[in-house]
Amino acid sequence: MDLVVFGIVWIIITAVAEWLMHHYVGHNSMYFLLSNQGNITLHAFNFLTTMLIPVFLFVIWFLVFSAIRFHANSPEAKQSRHQFTKNGLFTGVWITASIAVNLLFWLHPTAADLEQMFASQLPSAQRNDLVVDVTARQWEWIFSYPQYHLTQTVNAAGQDELVIPAHKKVQFVLRSYDPFHTYDVEAGVIHSFWVPAFGIKEDVIPGETRYEYIVANRTASYQTNPEVRVQCAEVCGPGHPWMEAPIRIVTASQFHAWVAKQQKMEAASGA
């Protein structure tokens, strides 16, 4: 009878929790997302959460049920009517189920999603529509576009700004050093290239070059949503909290118009 009651209640609370989870997922658990790589991350999060809800509730309900069903009414020790030193069936089912769940999570989403991310870095996939060099320094993000001979792009307020076209593959080349001062390139500090709206975060380490690949699936800007920004996510000194830069994701025609404007600005400044 105890197993029947335990099982029925577990099924009911699991069904309710799964319904609430899917209702929550319908509102996007990452709040605001607009990249292909971010969608892979979101899918993995949703899948893992859905599969782990029954396991989590089984353990919690087992503890609660045991505390209620087998609590002692008296501090005096009494002999139990049933004594068990081992339960081969329970042990076998628990170990088998644990191995199966871990193998499943290793295959999907871990291996399956990593394969998609690694595929974007294969030589055959290196046909990037746009390459953006991202330089991290204390405490600033500098963006340059080698294909368009732009060394540092800024907005009307003179703030460093990242602008990319929607629906185009972008390769970010990430480095950490100070281009305005001559010193040992490995003497800098670690930064972290984090774009909440892309669902990515990559450490930027002095002396190393790292890469990220993104396809933004719609237009957006920092002005419409503050998650469309580059933010340093690695403590890098007193200016760390303010080391951010706005992003604009625009149409192809808007991007080319912006590039032409930036080229004129750099030519006028003699850069």
The pLDDT score that the predictor gives to residue 114 is 73
Number of Cβ within a 10 Å radius of residue 120: 18
pLDDT value for 128:
67
The whole-number pLDDT of residue 161 equals 93
Question: Mind listing the domains of the chain with CATH numbers?
Answer: 1-68+104-119 (no CATH), 127-269 (2.60.40.420)
CA-based nearest residue to 250, from 157, 174, 153: 153
Kindly give the parts of the chain with pLDDT less than 70. Answer: 25-31, 80, 82-83, 117, 120-122, 124-126, 128, 182-187, 270-271
Integer Cα distance of 41 and 266 in angstroms: 38
All residues at 6 or more sequence positions from 173 whose CB lies less than 8 Å from its CB, including other chains: 131, 132, 133, 134, 209, 210, 211
pTM for this prediction: 0.74
pLDDT score, position 125: 62
Q: How far apart are CA 90 and CA 95, in angstroms?
A: 9
pLDDT tens column, 176-196: 988 887 666 666 789 999 999
In the prediction, which pLDDT does 209 show? 94
Residue 26: what pLDDT?
58
Nearest to 198 by CA among 174, 173, 223, 164: 164
